[in-house]
Amino acid sequence: MLGSDLVEFLSTRFDTIPIDRDNYEDSRSQVYDVLINANGNSRRFWANQNPVEDFEMSTLSVYKSIFDFDFKKYIYISSSDVYPDHSSPSVTSESAEIGHAELSPYGFHKYLSECVLKNRVEDYLILRCSMILGTSLRKGPLYDILANKPLYITLESRLQMITTHEIAAIIEALLEKNLSRETFNIGGKGVFEMSKISSYIKMPISVGEEAETQVYEMNVAKLDMLHSVKTSKEYLEDFIAHHGKEIQ
């Protein structure tokens, strides 16, 4: 979802080449000013059940890409799950020390990929993203509601959100500032309370018996100093405004 949306949004300002399994080998012959890696597994539950496969998809693939492509700057799409405690801005600043022994396989593999970049790449940006809303949702609580599936989280959950369109705008802003070797938390200010979702999506909502209460809220003060950030609620409303027919 994110990769295809970034191609669409960034192509209005830049020459873009989408790379996937089908053209990976052919694309290695190109020279890129910026390589954006939105690849890797994004299924948290599956990753924790299949750690070896997830390592291959989310970490080994990053290592290979560094040697497979000729680029000047590398932008890696990471995750808020690199923080052992991702529930509060007070413990999720980009300068916070990561207690990697406490991470899930999913979060650990994203963190390892960040370490690979810092070790092997001269010019990089790392974007630790919150819950992403885009044109073709394939997972997450909003997708589950739209697909008439029970939620895997309770309605007491509070989630930080951002849209693919805004991530593209952030990437453009960071490139214009010519920043390098920096890490940014990417998400809306504050959280959206899932207990209020019925006000936006007029569909039946069921909660699975094993649903857990989740809280995700990273500190986005560093990003907000460079690029004005909306609230998570506003990003949800932006998503609904552009995809209203899909969710009514």
CATH number of the domain to which 32 belongs: 3.40.50.720
Domain assignment present for residue 194? The answer is no
Q: In Å, what is the CA distance from 15 to each residue of 23, 65, 134, 214, 242? A: 17, 20, 21, 39, 25
| Model pLDDT, residue 248 | 46
Domain assignment present for residue 155? The answer is no
- The helix/strand count (H/E) of the chain reads as 11, 10
Give me the domain span that covers residue 31: 2-136+162-187+218-230
Q: What's the structural domain count of the chain?
A: 1
| Model pLDDT, residue 37 | 97
Q: Helix H segments across the chain?
A: 2-10, 24-27, 44-49, 51-55, 61-68, 105-120, 141-146, 164-176, 221-226, 232-242, 244-247
Domain assignment present for residue 109? The answer is yes
Which pTM was predicted?
0.95
| Model pLDDT, residue 244 | 54
| Model pLDDT, residue 43 | 85
Instruction: Report DSSP state, residue 231.
Output: B
Angle of helix 61-68 relative to helix 105-120, nearest 10 degrees, comes to 20
The letter for the amino acid at 228 is S
Domain assignment present for residue 204? The answer is no
Identify which of 188, 190, 200, 136 has the alpha carbon closest to the alpha carbon of residue 161: 188
Residues of the chain where predicted confidence (pLDDT) is lower than 50: 247-248
Domain assignment present for residue 212? The answer is no
120 neighbors 66 (Cβ within 8 angstroms): yes
